Structure 1
Amino acid sequence: MSTSVNSDVVPQQNEVPPVRREMKLKDGAISYLEWKAREGLPALHFAHANGFNAMTYRHLLAPLAPHFHICAWDARGHGFTKLPADPTTHADWYVYRDDLIAFIEPLVAETGGPILLSGHSMGSVTSLMVAAERPDLVRGLVLVDPVMVPKFARLMMRLFMMLGRKGGPMSLADGAERRRAVFADRATMAAAYKGRGAFRTWPEEMIADYVEGGTVDLADGQVGLACAPSWEAANFRSQGHDIWAAARKLNVPLTLLYAGQGSTCRAPAPQILGERDPQATLLRLGQATHFLPMEYPDVVRREMLAFDARLG
């Protein structure tokens, strides 16, 4: 891949440290973390959820570094990636699909073959759509609670948008838009999140990583969210992509992990995905919420390794 190195990320104890790199595109640059312990390892890309960033998943990914050559990007509008992100023109998630294709093409060329794609939530959807569009690039998929809601729910969202209504299916977007974007410092931000809201079940180290990878220094000495609340909200509202058509088009092996509590991967998604790969692992974690990678990182790692072993 044609990249430039930004800096080494400070590792946790006994952790293989990632390197932060940049990949130049015609309209900016994608920032990403890379773990590369040695040559010859199978390649894995991990895509984060809406509003998060690659660093958020360091606790999940670092123990896999002896087994995979790992890349984890900051998607457009997130983290340290510098690509245009205008919420007023954002209509669907195909832009992430196209960005990820551009990102992994050189990685596939470098490693000499298709790679594993994984992701959480929006990152799973992005990975799935890439596999549907460019199966030649993808060795297999490990999907973690992808956003696959029934068509009627998406139609309701679009209706609410047309009518300019709040609440109901727009509640997540409305909440994201109201997020506090500026804090005195990173420690204050992490303390504000601990045990609250979406972060209620997160371990402290993952909150700290989310803050580290998702904030920028402001001119007045404070820190702000790198992913603007308006962009996070636009992602919730921008449902013009057809995830069901992409799922039915899949022709790669897959593993699906989804939450038992408040999952965004709703029927008939598990059934449809299982039909695309008769050997697929479809694992519902009964006590897990949508934040499954934060709550059960050991299970996610185990299934990634099992999937890699299955592919041989």
Structure 2
Amino acid sequence: MNGVVTAGAPAGERKSWRDRDGEISFIEWVDESNADRPTLHFAHANGFNGLTYRRLLSPLAKDFRIRAWDASGHGLTSLPADPADHRNWYVYRDDLIRFVEGWAEETGGPVMLAGHSMGGAMSLMAAAERPDLVRGLLLIDPVLIPNHQRRFIGLAQKLGMGGSTGFDLARGAEKRRAEFPDAETMLRAYTGRGAFRTWPQEVVADYIEGGTLTRDDGTLELACKPAWEAANFRAQGHDSISPIAQLEAPFTLVYAGPGSTCRAPAPALLAAHDPQATILRIGRASHFIPMEFPETIRREILDLQARIAAG
């Protein structure tokens, strides 16, 4: 199921880092050729995993030393993830800060943070909380919801109401099939359908490889439990808008057209905070920009690095 990564690009190595009451699993691209290159961390979307973005990130391995983690409740990371206790995304922010802090100590410098969807939101919050650890920030259709909308989602949850986007997504996640006989069956079930409709098949294969656990009988189950994915959609007790005002590092925002999770006024607030920032809206893109426009994302990462290097 490994498939072929971009010709000449390394596939990355699975590693782990001890934290809290478990381990953070991550993919790392580092060898003798890039050991002295700038560092880049990539944070995935809700329900995904670091390996999902292998084909996006592998071609950048000649320019960066890269890590792509599995957040708690996702992939092969074993940190506690109890849906009943999940209220906000600050747990991801705090986990990311500790993870990046350890890496910054190891490499001797701050890290560029990049993230998609939920990964973008947690990266923004981490950058605002610990600007000393972050030298740049790339946000790919981050989940930035105005505070009044977050409060409505919280009220709707208490009252058992439906109809909000958070609830629609949560209910869909709860109904997700969690068990499959094998990877080939999963690939056939996902390719060209639902959230995976616009994904290249090899990216779907990477998502499956990085996001499933093999049972004793050889069958597969989703590593990110449907209940945990649903809990993430409902857990809106954090504020991802106010931290924009605390950002110090150069940043780039790439967001989608209709259906974007980066909602007004977030793009305008980001643009006003740093007039030199790149704010790019891809009108024909869905929320899954990294799968649909990987070349654009790689270009923006390189451009952001050039801006950082130029001071």
Q: Which amino acid is the alignment partner of residue 65 of structure 2?
A: H
| Residue in structure 2 matching 1:269, options 263, 266, 271 | 266
Contact 1:166 1:174 (8 Å CA) reproduced: no
Give the alignment partner of residue 227 of structure 1, picking from 215, 224, 235.
Answer: 224
Partner of 2:134: 138
Q: What is the CA–CA distance in structure 1 between the aligned matches of 2:92 and 2:164, rounded to whole Å? A: 26
Instruction: Show the counterpart of 1:306.
Output: 303
| Deviating more after overlay: 214-223 vs 38-47 | 214-223
Aligned to 2:203: 206
> Gaps spanning 5+ residues in structure 1: where?
1-8
Kept in 2, the 8 Å contact 1:87–1:234? The answer is: yes
Match for residue 53 of structure 1?
Answer: 49
1:119-162: per-residue Cα shift (whole Å, max 9, x none)?
00000011000100000000010000000122232122111110
The aligned counterpart of 2:241 is 244
Query: Displacement of 1:100 after TM fit?
Result: 0.5
Is the partner of 1:216 in helix, strand or coil?
strand
Indicate the residue corresponding to 1:176 in structure 2.
Answer: 173
Alignment gaps of 5+ in structure 2? none
TM-score of the pair, normalised by structure 2: 0.95
The answer to whether the 8 Å contact 2:120/2:143 transfers is: yes
What SS is found at the alignment partner of 2:14?
Answer: strand
Matched, 1:284 2:278: no
Once structures 1 and 2 are overlaid, which stretch shifts more, 293-302 or 25-34?
25-34
Q: Which amino acid aligns with 1:256?
A: L
Equivalent AA in structure 2 for residue 220 of structure 1: D
Whether 2:84 is the aligned partner of 1:91: answer no
Q: Helix, strand or coil for the counterpart of 1:77?
A: coil
Counterpart-to-counterpart distance in 1, 2:203 and 2:101: 30
- When the two structures are aligned, how many residues end up with a matched partner? 304
Separation of aligned partners in 2, 1:39 and 1:225: 33
- State the distance in 2 between where 1:151 and 1:131 align: 19
The separation in 2 between residues aligned to 1:39 and 1:214, in whole angstroms, is: 28
Confirm or deny: 8 A CA contact 1:11 1:18 kept in the other structure: no
Partner of 1:68: 64
State the Cα deviation string for residues 241-289 of structure 1 (Å, max 9, x = none). Answer: 1111111221221000000131100111111111222210000001101
Other structure's SS at 2:126 match: helix
Contact 1:274 1:280 in 2 (8 A): yes
Pick from 241, 253, 257 the counterpart of residue 254 of structure 2. 257
8 Å contact kept, 1:120–1:144: yes
Q: Which amino acid aligns with 1:17?
A: A
Aligned to 2:11: 17
| Alpha-carbon separation, structure 1, partners of 2:4 and 2:187 | 18
SS at match of 1:243: coil
What is the CA–CA distance in structure 1 between the aligned matches of 2:162 and 2:199, rounded to whole Å?
A: 28
Question: For residues 231 and 178 of structure 1, what CA distance do their matches in structure 2 show?
Answer: 12
What amino acid is aligned across from residue 120 of structure 1 in structure 2?
Answer: H
Deviation at 1:186, TM superposition (A): 0.8
Percent of matched pairs sharing the same residue: 57
Return the offset for 1:220.
3.0
Native 8 Å contact 2:71 2:77 kept in 1: yes
Deviations 1:27-49 (A, max 9, x none): 11000000013321000000000
2:145–2:240: 8 Å Cα contact kept in structure 1? Answer: no
